[in-house]
Structure 1
Amino acid sequence: MKINKIMMSCVAVLVVNAVTGCKDFLTEDLKSELAPTNTFTSTYGFEVGSAGLYALSRSEYNTWGEGGAFMHGNATPYEALQAATDIVDVINSDASLTAFANLTLTAEERFVRSYWDWSYSLIASANEILLFSEINENWDRPTDKVHFQAEAKFFRAYAYRTLIYLYGDVPYVESIQYDFQLNFTRTPKAEVLQHIIDDLTFAAENLPENPDQVLDGKLTKWAAYHLLSEMYLLQEEYVLAQEAALAVINSGYFNLMENRFGVSANQPGDVFSDLFKENNQNRKAGNRESIWVLQFEFNAIGGGTNSDDWTRRAWNPKYFDITGFTLADTLGGRGLAQIVPMKWWVGTIGTNASGNELGIFNATDMRNSNYNIKRNWYYNNPNSPLHGSKANITEQTWFTTKTLFPALTKFFYGRAENLGLTGSYRDRMKFRLAETYLLLAEAYLGQGDAFRDRAANAINEVRRRANASPVSASNIDIDFLLDERIRELVGEESRRFTLVRTNKYVERVSMYNSAIRDRVKADHALWPIPQSIRDANRDAEFPQNPGYR
């Protein structure tokens, strides 16, 4: 198949790009054959390069590599963006998360460097496509050149988004660095943000319009508009953020899913749980809510690896450590509970844990149903005398052994033929319309009290689908919106990004994260600049972020 050939070629190109300067690693023949000057000479060559961008963007979730486009080199990197926020506790967990959770982060921490490297790898690959697209004249269609440029600019913007959220001022690079440079300087965040907006504006104007006419996972202009809305919010350009969000909502191509659909439509569940069933994420399954979906596929070339997307391992309990349980795909597969949900939002109702936390869901909210937050656990080992009886969630199982607690079924994944799988091969919705509505609400709130009614209307669109009671404008503020983002998007969004964007990081962590509430301060909103980057940049000053050495 052509797509398999493209994926195999793009992986090879990514490997060559990754080892630039390592002269003995690959033979000169292979380097010559896959060099950009030979690859980017036709539409097909740019398809290979484009596939590489998609692979790199997906590898944001990669852990240990296994042939992926990029390797973070440790477990659960994405959960570093959830730790030390207002949604999860990190208790006796993987060492890769400890410093993030405890606010003992240093400039030598692995994910501090790997997120920097991942971002600039994506930027370098995008810049390469942009450069050679201006040189190439061998196109299959007149629109090919601007199409590949629009994709490249989207991914460059997406990478810089991560950089400014995590590090603040960062070097802005828009060309290929052929020579080893030792004198980078930090570009002010506001300037980088404007470059992001410029790139996304170009992408929104030139990416395809009709999502039914592109392959699964391919970008359309609506993904650019969605991200543009978020970036305008970060820029505090609330009217422009509103307009970008409304462009998506009013496009006519998307709607919130309100009726059962897809592979499990005739099985017990609800429409919210349907969104997260395997093979339900793309439009061909009837999902008209997804705007951009990262593509994974089990046992397929280019479909991901066992080291991709360990979100399930991070969020799911270690139930299989309890006598009377055995691994099961229906129970989420092999979770390791590297993070556990906080009581204040998920609630203790239906558990034997201490306290009487009601949580943030009302009684009719389907996002709190047992189809979406599993609180009822039953021993499933047919050889156990306990089989079929209920296992209670207790304070110990939640916060000590981490074997049972209220678990998000949106991350359940397992395969009966290999229950020990570490990665998830389910497609992952990166942008969906429910979040677009919540970005719209944020844009209205930014415009003042006169727009509270409109903010309430936007939030109520999301709540209506969830069968949650409507909220009045008088009860709407940024904290309600942040709670609503938990109800709808917990674990999907990068919570750290959201709290930083809304200037609520310190306040929310102080209010809800008892482990660090007395230590968190404004400096913790950013990560340190990787020390190895500063050390290598010996010909120019490269200051560290405040609060770090």
Structure 2
Amino acid sequence: MKQHIKILIPVALGISVITACNKKLEEYNPSGATIESLFNTPEGFEAGVNGIYSHNRLLYGKEEGYSFMEAGTDIWTNAANNGGKTVNGINSTTPLTTYQGIVSDNNNLNNNLWIPCYQGINECNTALSKEETAKLTPDRQKTLDGEIHFLRAWYYWHLVETFGPIPTPTEPMTTFQTTASRTPVNEVYDLIFADLKTAMSELTEKATDYGRVTLPVVEAFYARLSLTRGNWQEASNYANKVITGYKYSLVGKYADLWDITKEKNSEVVWPLNYASTYTLNGGGANEGHMMFLMDYISLPGMKTDVANDLPGTRWMPTLFLLNLFNENDDARFAGSFKQTWIANNSATLPKWDSLDAVQNPALLPLVGKPKFNVGDTAVFCSKYPIDDFQQKYSTAYRYKTYDINDMYNVSTGVPKDRFHYISLTKFNDPTRASEKETNSARDVFMIRLAEMYMIAGEAQFRMGKLDSAATFINAVRKRAAKTGHEAAMTVQASDITLDFILDERAREFAGEQLRWFDLKRTNTLISRVQLHNPDASSYIQGYSVLRPIPLAQINAVTNKGEFLQNEGY
């Protein structure tokens, strides 16, 4: 395979840490030590490998990571406060949701994807070059070598799927390189699969610390990538091996997956663990608890508190996503979304007034009294229409309501209220120290067992084995069924289509930083955004299946005639 090793990337000199369930993977970085010298001792090598993991914290559980991996799809669109960071007058995350004005100087793509992934890759390459001099024990060297090869493959996958042909350095770099060439996608995947095969040959089921890569993690990722590349039988085989070959099992209740007190559970194949001491996280704390939450704090009877979490108002569900759920049978709707807020602020309780009594004389005895009290429902967002009179004046709906017609234009799907909407609350953190605390120590599930069932089901479908496909998918749907509704949630072989599989993945994995990759690999990104995301439908183009190479990288290379920008940017 032809190697392309010259690329502009900064060499990361600081080594971060990952934390274990009950202990910390210790950082070891003598004052002034470079990354090369750090890998020269057993202690330094261990700390250096720990640091390779840390780059995931700039992607997973981060606003920027959601903008790369969830936004710009069929299931999310911009809420009122999307963005937050503006560069040269251009909001840096909003364009990734709507495809309106995506530019190559998007700093998020550079600082939170391109650079961290290449820093991780360079650290992998450095570690591989130093294994023999670090004087590790043979068993420990073998394990760490497997982890390093996996992590290099992991970071290369994010880059090749996002940007297409990319540079593929396999040797460490100690200085900036100013020429670059782009390796074809097929060759990048050759490198990725070779790394994963090496990792499989060296790792076991056991991990020394929670969050480290193990053999089933590698096999699960191999299954994901085999599906991406159309290797259906391998995708099915490896996914089934993870399902049947280890002690993983689906959590009994879908909602329990998102109970932060139960986050270390039988379904998690590979977590990204965040420390409660936020300075140890390298890339900062988890921000997922804020990103999908509506602005409830400005409403009567409400104030910010720990239990309701801190609203970031970045992304709201498309009407299409809400309509995918039959909440009468499927527990995932209630397990994923919040519709009701309970009053917690006596100072702002609304009171019945004389105008209410004019509209509804039955309210006359209540004039001057609170419409509801602390502990009662204060806000309710409904998937269905509510009669206008009932909403405004009936004692049956004395609290604030937003029905589907308040939130969306139901004929077009365009949001009408981007502040108030049914909110994804999978990632909420009621263990934060205070109501204004933005940081969360919640783990991120980067791979969980349900994905293996869905991969095996899709692979079987692709091979024309619809009965087998239905069996795998029904395992996920059975867990999702409300008690007594299992039959209603069971699908038949004739129900299995690619659209059904993508709909089912949306119901199961909404918000879990998989959606953009799902649509891209199935060649449905353009069609499904045009059908189901009215904010983005008129802006997405054929070339939108790739993101622009960061302008900082284009400007820095000296061989600009060879290192070209992606089409359309």
- Normalising by structure 1, what TM-score? 0.82
Letter in 2 for 1:276: W
Count of paired positions = 482
CA distance in 1, matches of 2:18, 2:505: 40
Aligned residue number for residue 232 of structure 1? 226
Aligned residue number for residue 454 of structure 2? 438
Aligned residue number for residue 293 of structure 1? 271
Question: Structure 1 residue aligned with 2:102, among 95, 102, 105?
Answer: 105
Letter in 1 for 2:533: N
CA distance in 2, matches of 1:274, 1:329: 19
Aligned residue number for residue 38 of structure 2? 39
Structural mapping, 1:456-535, within 5 Å:
456-467=470-481, 469-535=489-555
Q: Does 1:417 align with 2:421?
A: no
Change (3 A) 1:279 1:46: farther
Task: State the Cα RMSD in Å.
Answer: 2.4
Deviation at 1:229, TM superposition (A): 0.8
Aligned residue number for residue 168 of structure 1? 164
Question: Structure 2 residue aligned with 1:311, among 264, 288, 296?
Answer: 288
Change (3 A) 1:7 1:288: closer
1:426-450 CA-to-partner distances (Å, cap 9, x unmatched) read: 1121110001111111211222x2x
SS at 1:135's partner residue? coil
CA distance in 2, matches of 1:189, 1:535: 23
Aligned residue number for residue 566 of structure 2? 545
CA distance in 2, matches of 1:253, 1:54: 24
Aligned residue number for residue 115 of structure 2? 117
CA distance in 2, matches of 1:389, 1:41: 61
CA distance in 2, matches of 1:372, 1:124: 38
1:201-259 CA-to-partner distances (Å, cap 9, x unmatched) read: 1112212213xx5321121111111111111112211111111111211213211122x
Q: Which runs of 4+ in 1 moved over 4 A?
A: 1-8, 395-401
Aligned residue number for residue 6 of structure 2? none
Change (3 A) 1:416 1:150: closer
CA distance in 2, matches of 1:428, 1:368: 20
Structure 1 stretches lacking a partner, 5+ long: 14-29, 64-74, 259-270, 348-358
| 8 A Cα contact 1:150 1:206, kept in partner | yes
Deviation at 1:315, TM superposition (A): 0.6
CA distance in 2, matches of 1:375, 1:470: 26
CA distance in 2, matches of 1:317, 1:184: 44
Change (3 A) 1:319 1:536: same
Question: Structure 2 residue aligned with 1:278, among 260, 274, 277?
Answer: 260
CA distance in 2, matches of 1:535, 1:476: 47
Aligned residue number for residue 366 of structure 2? none
Structural mapping, 1:80-479, within 5 Å:
80-92=68-80, 93-94=82-83, 95-103=91-99, 104-114=101-111, 115-136=113-134, 138-139=135-136, 141-210=137-206, 214-258=208-252, 271-282=253-264, 287-299=265-277, 302-303=280-281, 307-331=284-308, 333-347=309-323, 359-361=324-326, 363-369=328-334, 371-383=335-347, 384=349, 385=370, 386-387=372-373, 388-393=376-381, 394=402, 395-396=405-406, 399=415, 402-415=418-431, 417-447=433-463, 449=464, 451-467=465-481, 469-479=489-499
Deviation at 1:35, TM superposition (A): 2.9
SS at 2:262's partner residue? coil
CA distance in 2, matches of 1:542, 1:489: 36
Letter in 2 for 1:209: E
CA distance in 1, matches of 2:416, 2:527: 27
Change (3 A) 1:3 1:434: closer
| 8 A Cα contact 2:60 2:444, kept in partner | no
Deviation at 1:47, TM superposition (A): 1.4
CA distance in 1, matches of 2:34, 2:458: 45
1:410-461 CA-to-partner distances (Å, cap 9, x unmatched) read: 11124463111113211121110001111111211222x2x11111111111
Change (3 A) 1:312 1:416: closer
1:368-395 CA-to-partner distances (Å, cap 9, x unmatched) read: 22x4321122322244343313423225
Deviation at 1:362, TM superposition (A): 5.2
Structure 2 stretches lacking a partner, 5+ long: 1-16, 84-90, 350-369, 382-401, 409-414
Change (3 A) 1:402 1:518: closer
Deviation at 1:36, TM superposition (A): 4.1
Deviation at 1:101, TM superposition (A): 2.1
Deviation at 1:303, TM superposition (A): 4.6
Deviation at 1:160, TM superposition (A): 0.6
| 8 A Cα contact 1:509 1:516, kept in partner | yes
CA distance in 2, matches of 1:36, 1:120: 14
Change (3 A) 1:433 1:61: closer
Change (3 A) 1:50 1:516: same
| 8 A Cα contact 1:344 1:360, kept in partner | no
CA distance in 1, matches of 2:261, 2:277: 15
- Among all aligned residue pairs of Structure 1 and Structure 2, give the percentage whose two residues are the same amino acid: 27
Deviation at 1:493, TM superposition (A): 3.1
